Amino acid sequence: MGHAERAHAVLAASSSKQWLACPPSARLSEQFPDKGSEYAAEGTLAHEIAELKLRKAVLEPMGPRKFSKAIKELRSNPLYQPEMDKHTDTYVDYVLGIVHSYTSPPYVAVEKRLDYSAYAPEGFGTGDCIIIGGDTLHIVDLKYGKGVPVDAEGNTQLRLYALGAVTEYGFLHPIRQVHMVIVQPRVVETPSEDTITLDELLAWGESIKPTAELAYKGEGEFNPGDHCRFCRAKAVCRARADAHTALEVFGGMKPPLISDAEVGQILERGRNLAAWLEDLEKYALNRCLEGGDIPGWKAVEGRGSRQYVDQDAAFKLLMEHGIDEAMLYERRPLSVPNVEKLLGKAKYRELLEETGLVEVQPGKPTLVPMTDKRQAITNKITAAEAFN
């Protein structure tokens, strides 16, 4: 099945973090359309390119003619960017690295429908690539997004895929270990990996069964949190609204200054509050445009911007009127990341880093939640510094 035709289960693996944390969200979401963004369409194209390359490399040796015809067709998509080739190569190389680590060829499946309904009612999804070699099942997932890095450790989406793969192949292959990988070439250089034993995977599968049952039936407790960001009900969900409007409890705080502990709590809730307000605004604008009534609010036309109808003709006319061509263009130096793109990593390092012409400036101190993986910094002086 092609990536474009992927269907979605009520208990989709990709939204499992959400329905495992907030079971009733699976059914509540159903009444809201799943708006595929251009961003998602771009990811689909990248997956199709990756799939084709993998098929050629591992599954069905195809002649150069057939391959070049197929890839040409994909590259003619208006969403195609040359960097898609670089990033899908990174993914394909990673997969081939696993395949070639075995002396006898492992079993490989690409874009494989995986049925995990034994653990979550009617649950199925599509695994980008699965490899079974020796006693190890590898689940490799390509994420083409540019957003935040996704961690493979404890990742519920990959675990559900793994359960599906074990259900299908467990009889034929002596699987004892499960290695799960997320390749996210636009965000991090090194893929994120997690390895667990088959017993751990099966125990996890058993542990989520009751929650999956509740989610399927639309029952259980609403539980707002970070996962709301991906929920289709996020704008008008009452549980989420209640959690945010409860901020008012801080209003009656005494003494006159709030404590550091309270600052921590307010920031934590405020972070999600800003995201929630943005979702509400988008929702209200849509309702107003559809002719709905959001009391106290209306949609208006935003500030317009001026655009050349024909830039060449406009500049020609300006030059005829004595404006020097050089005045019409800005000359700006390329940023370091863009020069690196232009040169490629190796050449960039050789010409600019090794010669000391580029240096890394430390970033400005930034406040992040404790869950962030970066090492904390502090201006507190150490005992040794104090002594000096």
Alpha-carbon span 71 to 66, nearest angstrom: 9
227 sits near ligand SF4 (criterion: CB under 6 A)? yes
Alpha-carbon span 202 to 157, nearest angstrom: 14
Per DSSP, the three-state class of 44 is helix
Please, what is the minimum distance in Å from the beta carbon of residue 127 to ligand SF4? 25
Residue from 216, 231, 244, 348 touching ligand SF4 (CB under 6 A): that is 231
Please, what is the minimum distance in Å from the beta carbon of residue 229 to ligand SF4? 9
Measured from the CB atom, the residue of 195 and 223 that comes closer to ligand SF4 is: 223
Residue 174, CA distances (Å) to 28, 118, 136, 163, 230 in order: 40, 20, 8, 14, 37
Measured from the CB atom, the residue of 110 and 228 that comes closer to ligand SF4 is: 228
Is the distance from CB of 88 to CB of 128 less than 8 angstroms? Answer: no
Residue from 12, 139, 158, 233 touching ligand SF4 (CB under 6 A): that is 233
Residue 310, CA distances (Å) to 80, 92, 314, 315, 323 in order: 26, 43, 6, 9, 17
53 sits near ligand SF4 (criterion: CB under 6 A)? no
Is the distance from CB of 137 to CB of 169 less than 8 angstroms? Answer: yes
Using CB under 6 A as the criterion, what x/- string covers residues 54-83 for binding ligand SF4?
A: ------------------------------
Applying CB under 6 A, the span of 97-105, 108-116, 176-184, 236-244 interacting with ligand SF4 comes to 236-244
Please, what is the minimum distance in Å from the beta carbon of residue 248 to ligand SF4? 19
Measured from the CB atom, the residue of 119 and 222 that comes closer to ligand SF4 is: 222
- The dihedral region occupied by 111, where left means phi > 0, alpha psi between -120 and 50, and beta the remainder, is left
Alpha-carbon span 314 to 231, nearest angstrom: 47
16 sits near ligand SF4 (criterion: CB under 6 A)? no
Residue 218, CA distances (Å) to 10, 11, 15 in order: 10, 11, 15
110 sits near ligand SF4 (criterion: CB under 6 A)? no
Applying CB under 6 A, the span of 94-102, 221-229, 316-324, 375-383 interacting with ligand SF4 comes to 221-229
Q: Would you state the structure tokens that stand for residue 337, as one six-digit string? A: 């990341």
239 sits near ligand SF4 (criterion: CB under 6 A)? yes
Total residues contacting ligand SF4 (rule CB under 6 A)? 15
Strand bridging mode 124-133 / 136-142: antiparallel
11 sits near ligand SF4 (criterion: CB under 6 A)? no
Please, what is the minimum distance in Å from the beta carbon of residue 284 to ligand SF4? 16
Alpha-carbon span 155 to 145, nearest angstrom: 17
Measured from the CB atom, the residue of 223 and 265 that comes closer to ligand SF4 is: 223
237 sits near ligand SF4 (criterion: CB under 6 A)? yes
Residue 342 CA, distance from chain mean position: 26
Task: Of 158, 153, 145, give the one whose Cα is nearest residue 87.
Answer: 145
Please, what is the minimum distance in Å from the beta carbon of residue 68 to ligand SF4? 45
Applying CB under 6 A, the span of 143-151, 220-228, 302-310, 367-375 interacting with ligand SF4 comes to 220-228
Residue 207 CA, distance from chain mean position: 26
Applying CB under 6 A, the span of 124-132, 227-235, 265-273, 357-365 interacting with ligand SF4 comes to 227-235
Using CB under 6 A as the criterion, what x/- string covers residues 17-46 for binding ligand SF4?
A: -x---x--x--x------------------
Residue 205, CA distances (Å) to 122, 159, 162, 216, 329 in order: 15, 8, 10, 15, 61
Interface ranges with ligand SF4 (CB under 6 A): 18, 22, 25, 28, 222-224, 227-228, 231, 233-234, 237, 239-240
